[in-house]
Amino acid sequence: MTEAEQPVCVIILGMAGSGKTTLVNRLTSKLYSSGPPPYVVNLDPACLEVPYPANVDIRDTVNYKEVMKQYGLGPNGAIVTCLNLFSTKFDQLLSLMKKNQGRHKYYLFDTPGQIEVFTWSASGNIITEALASTFPTVVVYVMDTVRSVNPVTFMSNMLYACSILYKSKLPFVVAMNKIDVVDHNFAVEWMRDFESFEEALDSETSYVSNLTRSMCLALEDFYKDLLVAGVSSTTGDGFDELLQKLVAAEKEFHDVYQIERKEEESRAKASTPSMKKVTGEGEEMPLVVQDSAVGREMSEVFLRQGSDESSEGEDEETPVGRDEMEEESFADFVNRVRDEKLEKKNAKNEPSCSKS
Ligand SMILES: Nc1nc2c(ncn2[C@@H]2O[C@H](COP(=O)(O)OP(=O)(O)OP(=O)(O)O)[C@@H](O)[C@H]2O)c(=O)[nH]1
């Protein structure tokens, strides 16, 4: 299968209420009308209903309410546990996806409302890694444009986006959503032109505004090549541009990220031979869910009775190794960026952050 024929996984992330589900719905209908239909996976176990036709729905595999009851968990703990349980069967979903490739260009993944549940959990990592090591994978970060008109809130959103980029190490598209209410050009301007952002900050005199100013300079590199599209998931405006940005992100995956990931994987394999078991396609993940096919037909709650699946206790052997590995590669990444900055600075013979 050539690069162009390969399907692309799109993981939709964003703060609660930013419009992830509405965006997946709009993107799904757009793709249905313009080419091969997407393969849609709902990874939010707590949502009441999804407006799009989901090919795979986590709610068919794990029953969120039942998980809360059986494990005595609150809402967030239960979402994490549902994802943990689902991730142990993720190899089955990958097999389904492999079987279906050729029929779909995009595999869309709608994620839970509480963003950190996916981005900072072991199962979120396992799912992301499993996808990225099997298919080209990109992240769409949905930003609520209406709630980002305040420069400090905008900066918080961008810092979060940046942290996800570093954590996932995947090509990244920011979908500035709800442009039917507020045009996103102010945000694009803030990213491109530090002075306009400073002007917007002028009305803020707090300590936070000084910090925000410094942060803006620190994010210069992040903004530089960032793929951005303004969209309205309600009206459908901007989705052609979003699709173009997805194509660019896919290209980035092949040209940059895939190569880096392969190098990183081989470095990690060389230094931690025991990790081979979990960095493959997930065949050797511990089984805590009963055997069954993943898909609409799954309607039971698949839990191993009496076992402790709390978010701290799960996957005892694997996350420790993975975390160490991530820390190591993140440290490498930070060192590399710092060295590059130093080199640049020496070359220019001026401070790297000066922009006045
Ligand atoms: N005006 C406007 N409203 C939108 C847009 N996209 C989403 N919304 C509204 O924003 C609210 C949240 O949308 P959802 O799609 O449920 O957001 P979400 O991020 O999936 O929400 P959680 O998963 O619960 O965090 C809903 O009331 C949507 O109707 C948009 O482009 N324009």
pLDDT band at 294 (very low <50, low <70, confident <90, very high): very low
pLDDT band at 20 (very low <50, low <70, confident <90, very high): very high
17: Cβ below 6 Å to ligand 1? yes
- 298-355 confidence digits (pLDDT tens): 333 333 222 333 333 333 333 344 445 545 555 565 566 667 767 776 776 655 443 3
Interval 34-61 mean pLDDT: 93
Nearest CA to ligand 1 atom 9: 19
Do the beta carbons of residue 141 and residue 161 sit within 8 Å? Answer: yes
Phi, psi angle pair for 309, to nearest 5° = -110, 25
pLDDT of residue 221: 83
16: Cβ below 6 Å to ligand 1? yes
What separation in Å is there between the alpha carbon of 204 and the centre of ligand 1? 29
- Domain 8-348: assigned CATH number: 3.40.50.300
What separation in Å is there between the alpha carbon of 240 and the centre of ligand 1? 19
Nearest CA to ligand 1 atom 3: 178
Nearest CA to ligand 1 atom 7: 19
Q: How far apart are CA 145 and CA 229, in angstroms?
A: 11
Interval 255-271 mean pLDDT: 78
178: Cβ below 6 Å to ligand 1? yes
pTM for this model (two decimals): 0.76
Do the beta carbons of residue 61 and residue 303 sit within 8 Å? Answer: no
Q: What is 159-199 written as a DSSP string?
A: HHHHHHHHHH-S-EEEEEE-TTTS-THHHHHHHH-HHHHHH
Q: Which of 233, 237, 241 to mutate to test the pocket of ligand 1 (most atoms within 8 A of CB)?
A: 233
First to last CA, the chain: 50
What separation in Å is there between the alpha carbon of 12 and the centre of ligand 1? 13
The burial class, CB within 10 Å (0-12 / 13-18 / 19+), for 146 is middle
Point out the ligand 1 atom lying closest to the alpha carbon of residue 18: 19
Point out the ligand 1 atom lying closest to the alpha carbon of residue 181: 1
230: Cβ below 6 Å to ligand 1? no
Q: What is the ipTM of this complex?
A: 0.97
- 194-231 confidence digits (pLDDT tens): 888 888 887 776 667 777 877 887 788 888 889 999 99
- Candidate ranges 195-204, 206-215, 240-249, 252-261; pick with highest mean pLDDT: 240-249
Point out the ligand 1 atom lying closest to the alpha carbon of residue 110: 20
The burial class, CB within 10 Å (0-12 / 13-18 / 19+), for 5 is exposed
pLDDT band at 168 (very low <50, low <70, confident <90, very high): confident
CA angle 109, 115, 121 (to 5 degrees): 90
Q: What is 120-152 written as a DSSP string?
A: TSHHHHHHHHHHHTTS-EEEEEEEESGGG-SHH
Q: Which of 12, 22, 142, 144 to mutate to test the pocket of ligand 1 (most atoms within 8 A of CB)?
A: 22
What separation in Å is there between the alpha carbon of 243 and the centre of ligand 1? 19
293: Cβ below 6 Å to ligand 1? no
Q: How far apart are CA 316 and CA 215, in angstroms?
A: 37
What separation in Å is there between the alpha carbon of 6 and the centre of ligand 1? 30
The distance from CA 86 to its chain's CA centroid, rounded to whole angstroms, is: 17
What is the sign, positive or negative, of the torsion defined by CA atoms of 234, 238, 239, 242? negative
196: Cβ below 6 Å to ligand 1? no
What separation in Å is there between the alpha carbon of 20 and the centre of ligand 1? 7
What separation in Å is there between the alpha carbon of 323 and the centre of ligand 1? 33
